[in-house]
Every structure is written in C-alpha cells, then in structure tokens.
Amino acid sequence: MLKLDDLIIEVQNKEIQGMVTGVTIYETVFGMLKGAIAVTDGMNFFDNFIGTSLSDVHFKFQYLNKSPIICSFYMDGISEMRIEKQVKKYIIHIESAYVPSLSEHINAAFSGRSDEIIKSIFTEATKDINAILECDTKTGTKGKYIAPNIPARDCLNVLVNNSYDVKQTGMFLYQRLFDNNIVRLTSLYDMLNNHFLNQKKDRVSIKNSLLSMDNVAGMNTLGTSSKIRLKAYNMDMLKKIENGLWGEEINEIGLDETKRTHNLTKEATSISKTKFKLSDKLYSDNVKSVFSTRGNITSSRVINHKRRVFNTLLNVDEMVALPNLGVGMSIDVELGGGNKSFSRQDGKYLISYIQHKFTQDSGDFMYSQDVGLVRE
C-alpha cells in the first residue's frame, strides 16, 4: 500500500478526517457509488452535528501527486456504535449524492434513442444539483417511453435493462470514484474494448507480486497484489445452461403487439366488443415503443447475455492502488510470470467492481484497492 498525499472528509461542512480510522468506497458497473466511514468520536460530533435529515458528505483526496479527486455523498445512516468511556465508535454509511434526487417521480412521455431518453430523465431528476451524465455509447434502441409517475431510478433501471448498442450488447449505468461525480452510460462492447492505459498510452497489467520481478527488484509496485482469489471458474453449470450459456430459445410476448378484448357498454341491453393493440392507445401509427421487438434483437436476449458474461470471477485483494482505475475498464492480468500452472487465468478481464480502501496508519492514510474481474 502507498499513502495518500492528502485526504479531507467533510460532514455538514465540518472536517472529520482526524476522527476517521478507515474509509471504504465501493463502485460497481451496476450502479452509483456508496461506502462506509469508520469513526472514533471523542469530541461529541455525533451528538452535536448528526441530525435526522440528510447530511452532505464531501470526500477529497490526492494520490501520487495527481489532480485532486472530489466526490459528493449523503449520509445514509449510522451502525455498529460502541461507547467506551467518553468515546463513541461507529460506522457512517454513505451513498452517492445523486441517489436522493433519483427518487423524484417522473410523469412524462419521451421519444428518441434510449440513451437520449435516459439522459433526459437523469438530467430532469438531478437538475437542482447540476449532475453530469456522459453517454459513452449510442444505443440501437429507439422509440417512445412513457414514465408513469414512478421514481426516476426505476425509469432508468427499466430503460437501461432493455437497451442495447449497435453491436447488440447490453448497457450499464454507473459511477466511478476517479470521475469526479460524473455518471456514465456505456455498453458491454465498449467496456470490453476500453483498455486501462498509463500516461504513455501503454496497456497496464495487474500482476502477482510474488512472481513479479519488478516488485522483487523494488521497482514498479503499482497494480501488484499477493492476494489473488479465483472466486468462480465455470461454476454452477446447470444454472448456466438455464441462462443460455451454450444456446437459448426465447419465447416472448410483446406488449406492443398483444391484442386485448375491451367491453364497452353503450346501453343497458347492448354490449359491443372492440379488439385493439395495446400500443394503439399509447402510440400513433408511425411511433413505436422503445421496447418494441419487431425486426430487432429482443431485450430478453440482451438481458440473458449480460447474465452469462460473468463466467469467471477473479478477486484481487489489497492491490497497490492504480490511480484512475475504474469499473467498466478492461485490463490485462498476468498471474503466471512464466509459470504454466497460473497462466490459464492470464488474459484480458473486465473490471466489474472496486473497493477503494483508505486505512489510517500513524497519522497517514494508506490506499489499496480490492478489484473484481470478470470475463466470458
């Protein structure tokens, strides 16, 4: 582990890093940032500054003389409190500052590509905090979407889960720590081809420090770890068969093509029956639903592909932190170092999650990363 150049943590505009013993920030390709702050409180901070309303938490740090990283959260609660004499020890749970705004209900109709609709809904819900959504991928799905007065996060989940790019791979909406509060919308295809590069534009590898000659020589230790676990390798074969790993046949009912019988009472003794497509009452003849499957790959097939892409899960624990590393990037793994017994797990992986861990040690904060890697 290497130490941070600087760390500032503010809760309710009051710096608390002097009371902090550790911080974990969790990022994943499946959503927004969240984390936990371990506090040893001998100054009655809990009693004086932590209320029942949402509290802002601001996190700023600098690593290896790079530009400062700033990220905003809100306090989601406190747990595991212990009182020892006059000192309170507890965990502050934090969530991305965008989460409360995404609880706003949306009741409106949208049309266009689904990435444009996703950005419109996200921007509308977070307009008071000037949030930024970067659409790294243009979607191949387009049409009309009606948000029926439900939370913005539910609208986004539905749209993301049913959208795909021109390569017919699924979409992901997520947030990275090193992106300074930016949220990203990216396809699986683009993530697999987004190689993590150093300043020289060279591809970077995660290495086994026990087999890395660079590490033994005391040279480049970034991206090395001695704790690497192959958590899953071709596990749950029967479940993978069910999820279509080796082929699938999908039978699907499209809501925009389903016929429905409607009983309309004109008089007490006269009832007429009218058949119509469900979509006819929602969309005009020249506009289709964003979920329409006619002539296109079905959303069910895309969802199944997203499920089965995570075939091998490799965990790299307590890795010497790489600056600017984030989920949704692809990275090379070199475990073998020429040893054939390890080389089977070498190759390109997708970063699916990172735990950024900051541990207090004699007044300094040491920085390491636990990284989750997946591949087909």
Banded model confidence at residue 19, pLDDT cuts 50, 70, 90: very high
Identify the pLDDT of residue 347.
85
d(C-alpha 84, C-alpha 81), whole Å = 10
Contacts 24+ apart (CB under 8 A), 118-124: 118/156, 118/159, 118/160, 118/163, 118/173, 118/185, 119/185, 121/147, 121/152, 121/155, 121/156, 121/159, 122/152, 122/156, 122/183, 124/152
Q: Would strands 330-334 and 205-208 be described as parallel, antiparallel, or unpaired?
A: parallel
Express each pLDDT in 97-145 by its tens digit.
999 999 999 999 999 999 999 999 999 999 888 889 999 999 988 889 9
131 or 326: which carries more pLDDT confidence?
326
Q: How confident is the model at residue 230 (pLDDT cuts 50, 70, 90)?
A: low
Residue 287 has pLDDT above 80, yes or no: no
| Partners of residue 285 on adjacent β-strands | none
